[in-house]
Structure 1
C-alpha cells in the first residue's frame, strides 16, 4: 500500500477555482489515488461512472467519495468510444457544473488513468497567469491529418454497441476549417458557457452527431471556427507518449517507471495513461514527488500567447503525433531514484 499522502492546503481568495470532471471506467483504485492527489477544498469534482462498471465497483467509489465535500455524481450514460456520446458526456458535465451555480473558473476533464504531475497550488498559480486562455490540442485536419477527413465526409450512425457498418457520404459544411486533436482540455468558464449555449456551436453539434471520432475533433473545430479562436492554446497540458500498435496508427503508451524523466520535465500538469496492473511503482514515485515538491518547474518561462511548437527531434519521429512536445530529458532528482514505496 502506498504511504498516506500528506496534503498542505494554501487557501487564498485570489486563486482561480477549478471544476474537475472525472470519468471512471475500470480502475477504481487508480481513481482514488488520482482524486486524493488533486483534491482541494476550494475545488469542485463532478464524477461520472461508466455504465458498464461492475455494481460493486460503483458502490465502492460512491462510498469513498462520502468523506469529501464539493463532490457531485453525474448520471451514468452509455458512452461509445469515438462516438458523439463522448462529446455529449463532456457537454453534460459542463452544463451540470454551470447549472448548479457553483463558483468555478476553469473546467478540467480527466479519466481514472490520469495522474497529476504538479501540485494543486502550482496548478492554481498557472491558471491565475492564464485566466482567459483555453488549452486543447489542435491540428488543421487538411494540412496535418488529411487521411482522417473521411471521418467528416462520411455519415456514421452510433448504435450503442458501435457504429453502423455502411457509412454514406455527405457534403462538407461550408466555410469551415476542420480541426482534430485530443479529448483532454482545460477550458475557462466563459468557454464552457459558450459551448453549452451559443448558436455558433449548435450547428457543429448537429453535424458532428454522425461523425466518427467526434470526441477528438468537435471541440477543436467548433472553437477554432468561432469567436473563441483567439483564446485557444495548442497544448492540453498532458504528458502522453504515443506509439504504433497494430492497425491503430497511434495509441497512448501505458507509462512505466522507465518514462519518469519524460514525466517530470517541462510544464505539463497531468499525464496519461497509467495502469497499476502493468506498473504501480510509477504512481508511487509521482505521489512521492508531489509530497516533496520535487517535480521540476519549467513553466515560468513559457509564453502561452504563442502556439506550441515542436523540437527538431519530435518532428523527425514517426511515433509521435504532430502536436506532441518532447523536451530534452532531465535527470530525476536523486531522492526519487532510491526505489518505489
Structure 2
C-alpha cells in the first residue's frame, strides 16, 4: 500500500547554533560592501539604533535560496542524478543539463528519473533541459550554457545565489549547513577565485584567438586556432581564476540584462578566448564599480593540484578525504565516476542512504525501502545544521576577515 505524503511541523531552534564568530565579522562586511565602489567613512548611528541592529543580528535571519546548474555530457546521466540527490533541498532550484554529446535517450532517461521522484514532484524545483546546448571543451560555449541557465532560473524562480557544478563535483556537507551559514551573509557577496596577475595565461589564454565551431554547428569538435595573436585590452583589465563560482542574483541580472555595455563587450571579447569560463564573470565583476567590492576570493571548492599545476586538477580519492573535510569547503572536485570516496562522503558527511536524498530538517523520515523517499516532510523553511557548518563558518570567517577580504579583492 502506498503511503501518503504527510507534512509535519519540525521545531528546531537555530539560536543554539548561531555562528557567533561569523556574526562578529558581519558588521565589518556590511560596512565594506556599503556604497560599493566608494570608500567613505562608516555612518554613525544613534546608540538605540546600533543596539537594535546588534539585536537583529542575534536573531536567526531568513534562509536564502540557491539556484544550481548541474551539467554533464555523454554517460553522465546517472552521475547528475546522484549529484542532484546529494545536493538537494526543497528551498533551492536545480537546472540539469546534458549537452549534445549525450544522446536524446540518455537525456530522456534523466528527465524520467527526476520526474519519478515524489519529493521533486511535490516541490517542483527541478528542471531538466530538453533542448540541449552544444558545449565545446575549452571553448566559450560553456559561458553560453551558463548564461542560458541563469536566464531560465531568473525567469522561473526567486533565489539569492547561483552555483554551477559539473558531474565531476560533489558536495561535502548537507544543504542545511550551507543555507544556515549563508543566511548570515550579506546577499551581495560573490564567491569566485580571481586575480589580474595571470602569468602564463597571458600567452596561452589571452593572446591566442580561437574559433569555437560549437557556436555555428551542431556537431561537437575542437576549437580552431588563428595564426594571429591579439594585444592585451586597454579599456578593461583581464581577471582570471576558477570556472566554479557562487554568484549573486543582482550581479547575474546585470550580466544577462546588461544595462550598460560592459557585459556585452566582454561577451564578444571572450567569444574568441580560450577557456573563457575562467575569466568572463571575473573580468565583469572586477571592472564594474558596483560589484568590484563584493568579491570573496574563493570558489568554495576543495581542489587539489599537482606541483607544478597541470591543466586539470587531480582526481580525488580516499586518501584525500580528511583534507577535504578539514578544508571547510562545501564542494569538491574532481571525482572519477563511482569512486569509493563518494560512498564515504555519503555515509560520513551527508548521511545519505544509497539512492536517496541527503536528509535534513525537511526530510523527517525515510520509510523502509519504498521508492517514495522522505515519506514524512518537515518544513522546507527550517534547517538543522550539522558539525559541518562549523567548518564552513571557520572558512567563511577567514575569507572575510579584515586582513583578507579587502586586500584580495580584484587585485
Report TM bin, short chain.
0.7 to 0.9
Give the corresponding residue for 1:229: 292
Structure 2: stretches of 5+ with no match in the other structure: 1-7, 13-59, 215-220, 353-385, 405-411
Give the corresponding residue for 1:168: 228
Give the corresponding residue for 1:323: none
The alignment covers a number of residue pairs equal to 294
CA distance in structure 1 between the partners assigned to 2:334 and 2:11 by the alignment: 29
The one-character-per-residue Cα deviations of 1:312-338 (angstroms, maximum 9, x if unpaired) are xxxxxxxxxxxxxxxxxxxxxxxxxxx
Per-residue deviation at 1:172?
2.8
Name the one with the larger strand percent. 1
Give the corresponding residue for 1:22: 70
Query: Higher relative contact order by CA 8 Å / sep ≥ 6: 1 or 2?
Result: 2
Conservation of the 8 A alpha-carbon contact between 2:169 and 2:333: yes
Structure 1: stretches of 5+ with no match in the other structure: 1-7, 310-341
Instruction: Find out whether 1:70 has 2:125 as its counterpart.
Output: yes
Give the corresponding residue for 2:210: 156
Per-residue deviation at 1:173?
2.2
* CA RMSD across the alignment: 2.5
CA distance in structure 1 between the partners assigned to 2:333 and 2:402 by the alignment: 22
CA distance in structure 1 between the partners assigned to 2:392 and 2:225 by the alignment: 46
- Give 2:392's match in structure 1, choosing from 292, 299, 305: 299
- Give 1:138's match in structure 2, choosing from 183, 194, 206: 194
In the superposition, relative to structure 1, how do residues 307 and 232 fare at CA in structure 2: closer, same or farther (>3 Å)? Answer: farther
CA distance in structure 1 between the partners assigned to 2:166 and 2:316 by the alignment: 15
Per-residue deviation at 1:210?
0.7
Alignment of 1:1-341 (within 5 A): 14-25=62-73, 26-66=75-115, 67=117, 68=120, 69-74=124-129, 75-100=131-156, 102-130=157-185, 131-140=187-196, 143=197, 145-150=198-203, 151-160=205-214, 161-198=221-258, 199-227=261-289, 228-243=291-306, 249-277=310-338, 279=339, 281-288=340-347, 289-291=349-351, 293=386, 295=388, 297-301=390-394, 302-306=397-401
SS at match of 2:111: helix
TM-score, length basis structure 1:
0.79
In the superposition, relative to structure 1, how do residues 77 and 202 fare at CA in structure 2: closer, same or farther (>3 Å)? Answer: same
Conservation of the 8 A alpha-carbon contact between 2:61 and 2:184: no
CA distance in structure 1 between the partners assigned to 2:253 and 2:154 by the alignment: 8
Conservation of the 8 A alpha-carbon contact between 1:241 and 1:253: yes
In the superposition, relative to structure 1, how do residues 13 and 51 fare at CA in structure 2: closer, same or farther (>3 Å)? Answer: farther
The one-character-per-residue Cα deviations of 1:162-190 (angstroms, maximum 9, x if unpaired) are 22233312333214221111111111111
CA distance in structure 2 between the partners assigned to 1:113 and 1:300 by the alignment: 25
Give the corresponding residue for 1:312: none
171-180 vs 124-133, greater mean Cα deviation: 171-180
CA distance in structure 1 between the partners assigned to 2:281 and 2:399 by the alignment: 20
SS at match of 1:193: helix
Conservation of the 8 A alpha-carbon contact between 2:61 and 2:183: no
Per-residue deviation at 1:218?
1.2
Give the corresponding residue for 2:56: none
Q: Which has the larger radius of gyration?
A: 2
Per-residue deviation at 1:294?
5.7
The one-character-per-residue Cα deviations of 1:193-235 (angstroms, maximum 9, x if unpaired) are 0111222211111111111111111111111111211101110
TM-score, length basis structure 2:
0.66
